[in-house]
Amino acid sequence: MVIISLTLLGLAFGSFINALVWRLHKQSITKNKKQKAQLSIVNGRSRCVHCRHKLGMYDLIPVLSWLYLRGRCRYCHEPISLQYPLVELSTVILFIISYLYWPGFQDSILEMAEVVDFGVWLAALTGLIALVVYDLRWMLLPNKIIFPLLGLAGLNVLLQSILTSSADPLTSSLWGALIGAGIFYLLFQLSDGQWIGGGDVKLGFLLGILVGGPLPAFLMLFIASLLGTAYSLPRIIGGGLTVKARLPFGPFLIAGGIITKLFGQGIVDWYLNSFFY
């Protein structure tokens, strides 16, 4: 039952991400104020990006509409990006994995704080996936997504501290955020903004709060650099990519954060067991 609800929720949030990313980008390149307001996510209907035809309910069913229409617009038959169903499916998969591997759900008694924490995580995941899509497409991490997420994560940490009557969530998240952002801030200053962008510093801060501590923050950075290296090394050796080429680091950092959040404790235990006993 939970899985079915999460699937439906993931599909809905996934299509929200697609609409959000597209509208934010349009907004950022539109000068006209009236058009800007029309593009607001709370305003107006979805339209085909090619022919601007208004889309009906049957065009907007996540994944299924795309499959049924074989990836083409019903009205102008122009291709619809594979991004749409891919994002929707990824959101569902991440929601379900999060539920199955959520560290706090292993206790049989569910506490209020845990449920709130999980709900906030699903909302945060939605924003993080939107950031990945945006960064991959336009090499940018928009503040319009990062700032609301920062507010949400900060509020959750406060709430966790109140619900568990302990200052631990607050202090450890703060340390996580300082480490997540601090290392990037250093790299940013050292390289004069050449290696990484200013958006990565803010993202490091946000993910530091979300993973919730200094050690997880280090683990996240480590996993992110492993993933980044694994991705770019073959391309540098093959000559397709120069060392100087700017790589969107956001997706790697976000992947590192998600892996740490869900599997961090398992990874640390495995490491200690394999090398220290």
Instruction: Kindly indicate which of the ranges 70-78, 163-171, 230-238, 261-269 contains the residues binding Zn ion, using the contact rule CB under 5 A.
Output: 70-78
Q: Which residue from 3, 8, 41, 51 is in contact with Zn ion, where contact means CB under 5 A?
A: 51
Distance in Å, CB of 48 to Zn ion, minimum: 3
| Site residue total, Zn ion (CB under 5 A) | 6
- Based on CB atoms, which residue is closest to Zn ion, 39 or 220? 39
What is the rounded CA–CA span in Å between residue 168 and residue 39?
Answer: 41
CB of 53 to Zn ion, least distance (A): 5
Quick one: which of 145, 123, 122, 147 has its CA closest to 133?
A: 145
Residues 204-243 that bind Zn ion (CB under 5 A): none
Binding flag, residue 247, Zn ion (CB under 5 A): no
User: Would you count residue 76 as binding Zn ion (CB under 5 A)?
Assistant: yes
Binding residue for Zn ion (CB under 5 A) from 73, 140, 215, 227?
73
Judged by CB under 5 A, the stretch of 47-55, 56-64, 105-113, 175-183 that binds Zn ion is: 47-55
Cα–Cα distance measured from residue 17 to residue 31, given in angstroms and rounded to the nearest whole number: 23
List of residues 6+ apart from 153 with CB closer than 8 A: 120, 124, 173, 206, 209, 210
Contact 92, 10 (CB under 8 A): yes
Task: Tell me how far apart the alpha carbons of residues 140 and 134 are, in angstroms, rounded to a whole number.
Answer: 6
Categorise residue 55: left if φ over 0, alpha if ψ from -120 to 50, beta otherwise: beta
Under a CB-based contact definition with an 8 Å cutoff, are residues 120 and 212 in contact? no
Comparing CB distances to Zn ion, the nearer of 81 and 90 is 81
Among 25, 36, 47, 50, binds Zn ion (CB under 5 A): 50
If the CB atoms of residues 47 and 137 are measured against Zn ion, the closer one turns out to be: 47
Q: Which residues sit at the interface with Zn ion, rule CB under 5 A? A: 48, 50-51, 73, 75-76
